[in-house]
Structure 1
Amino acid sequence: MPIEILFKNTNCEWIDVESPTEDDLAYLHERYQINTLLLEDTIDANHLPKFEQDGNINFFLMRENTQSERFNLNTISDVSTKLGIFLMDKVIITIHRLNNRSIYEFKKEILLPQNEDITRDRIALNLALKVLKSYDDESKNLMEIMDQIESEIFLKTTNHSNHIRRLYRLKRKSGLNSRILNISTVWVEKFKMLDLDDSPVTDLKDKHKDVIGDFDHLNVQVASLISMFLAMSDQKANQVMKVLAIYSMYFFPITFIAGIYGMNFHFMPELSLKYGYYITLGIMGIISLITFVYVRKKGW
């Protein structure tokens, strides 16, 4: 997508670049004297959030949550996408590799009458708030998924056998988002350097603390749910072993007697008795009944 001017007034000019090419980056370097290393950071898929100042240029590198369902959850690029913001004089330049929801939403809002005299720093602040809101939305989404899995596990409303896999993916997504948010403290704190009132900057910091708290809570809840699921699985296995052990108690003495009479000795007691077979079966039945009464009395 070519370099596009999204907004312009007497206070500032907002330039947006989506999926920049090498020619686009070269133009930005020549036109605005932006360091090429900073420009390269905006196209590095796995670059961490940061803030850097180079002369009169303030560079914010943010990462917005994408709420994507990728197969692999190994790196921060699997759950987020970058948004680079350059602030200089009366110009703000935003650079991003993929379609960015924050840009898409705010370029509509900026045309509203109340934003007619908006400044460069105010645009950056609004974009930052939308970036953090993307994590707010994601935390709510993951919490709903966790509640659904929890209901399936404890209420047994489904027979899914992949609970542990879903919990693992939930844990991975939550952990990656937490990592991004903790590192984002670097650029959130730097908004106090801009020409902004204390109140909106405080709102930004509060939103940042809120989403960090949400994901910390989610991490704890997921870890607890995984532990409970494994404990319930172990309990179920123990219950099966308990039933098998009880059946073994019933059949062990009977098997012992049957084994004795299966040795085929010529002279054995009760072999010549007319009712020896029934007497032996009766003894087996009495032993089984005694075993049953004993087990019930013990509450096994």
Structure 2
Amino acid sequence: MPIEILYQNPQCEWIDVEAPTAKDLAYIHEKYHINTLLLEDTTDPNHLPKFEQDGDLKFFLMRENTELERRNLNNLSDVSTKLGVFLFRNKLITIHRMKNRSIRELKEEIVLPRNENIIPDKIALILALKVMRSFDDESTHLLEKMDLIENEIFLKRNNNANQIRRLYQLKRKAGLNARILSASSDWIKNFRSLNIHDAEMKDLQDKHDDVTTDFEHLTAQATNLISMFLAMSDQRANQVMKVLAIYSMYFLPLTFIAGIYGMNFDNMPELHQPFGYFITLGVMAFIALLTFLYVRRKKW
């Protein structure tokens, strides 16, 4: 049975539901009279974060960053997992589809003496802070990864197709996390309605603002790096074409002279002279020298 009572005292009861089935949701609806539409929101893998209130019931739908590395980054579920928090009277119910790091950590901390008389609103706040810290950890990881890629591109001159794929994947991941954090501002704002201190609310708001700024910076920086990478690739291609064009300048007049003397005609200048071959080679060398001096003067 995935329904478990994680904490209980006279003023607080914390019930956790992991990977709920339709039968589990029906049981929760019947016992606690929670709207089925709100319960269904907790099972939608790509539902955006939100806040809803139904009478004295407050529903916070959060999304926590996951540590999973997925190849396809198309949906919110590829970088995060949902955590539904229901608050009413002296009860707190958390519902999540998969194992949740915030739940696991708080489950270990809740038995400590300092949490002996904790209230549901305080548990919800701690969970919200842990959810925001999961994005903080991810932004730190992505920033380190971006610095590594940037050093490889500009210092080690290691520019290959794999770099652009890594940058694009990083940009996609940062963009999805930024979208989640942008939508999370609604439920964070409504934490003010809970029985928590203003300083604690300010701490949660500051953490949200910090990680939002980090992911916006990551997205912009990844976009700039991709543009710079492509510009550098074009510059290298242009440099190669420039070298080839210069070599063509050297050999074009020489090839023209060699082509003329390759014709099978008897009436050719210097054809029967003893030193005609060497005179022609000298003229070709002189033309090559003039071309070299012209290129140097133009600083090509």
Q: TM (normalized to structure 1)?
A: 0.98
Gap regions ≥5 residues in structure 2: none
The offset of 1:196, in angstroms, is 1.2
Question: 84-93 or 257-266: which moved more?
Answer: 257-266
Distance 1:176 1:85 in 2: 22
The offset of 1:10, in angstroms, is 1.6
Alignment of 1:97-136 (within 5 A): 97-136=97-136
Distance 1:228 1:134 in 2: 30
Instruction: Give the secondary-structure state (helix, strand or coil) at the position aligned to 1:289.
Output: helix
1:54 aligned onto 2:79: no
The offset of 1:266, in angstroms, is 2.5
The offset of 1:299, in angstroms, is 2.0
1:42 aligned onto 2:42: yes
Can you list the C-alpha shifts for 1:225-275, whole angstroms capped at 9, x where unaligned?
111111111110011001001100110010111111122223121111111
Distance 1:100 1:187 in 2: 19
Question: 159-168 or 57-66: which moved more?
Answer: 159-168
1:93 aligned onto 2:101: no
Instruction: Give the secondary-structure state (helix, strand or coil) at the position aligned to 1:162.
Output: helix
Give aligned-pair identity as a percent.
67
The offset of 1:92, in angstroms, is 0.2
Distance 1:269 1:240 in 2: 38
The amino acid across from 1:51 in the alignment is F
Alignment of 1:172-191 (within 5 A): 172-191=172-191
Instruction: Give the secondary-structure state (helix, strand or coil) at the position aligned to 2:62.
Output: strand
Instruction: Give the secondary-structure state (helix, strand or coil) at the position aligned to 1:45.
Output: coil
Instruction: Give the secondary-structure state (helix, strand or coil) at the position aligned to 2:204.
Output: helix
Counterpart of 1:28 in structure 2 is 28
The amino acid across from 1:57 in the alignment is L
Distance 1:2 1:18 in 2: 5
Distance 1:158 1:268 in 2: 54
Q: How many residues align?
A: 300
The amino acid across from 1:102 in the alignment is S
1:202 aligned onto 2:202: yes
Distance 1:176 1:159 in 2: 26
Counterpart of 1:292 in structure 2 is 292
Distance 1:67 1:31 in 2: 34
Cα distance change of structure 1 residues 125 and 97 upon mapping to structure 2, 3 Å threshold: same
Distance 1:275 1:179 in 2: 80
1:145 aligned onto 2:134: no
Cα distance change of structure 1 residues 195 and 132 upon mapping to structure 2, 3 Å threshold: same
The runs of 4+ residues in structure 1 deviating greater than 4 Å are 157-160
RMSD: 1.1
Can you list the C-alpha shifts for 1:177-209, whole angstroms capped at 9, x where unaligned?
000000000100000011111110111111111
Distance 1:199 1:222 in 2: 34
Cα distance change of structure 1 residues 158 and 234 upon mapping to structure 2, 3 Å threshold: closer
Can you list the C-alpha shifts for 1:14-64, whole angstroms capped at 9, x where unaligned?
000000011110110000001111111101111110101111111000000
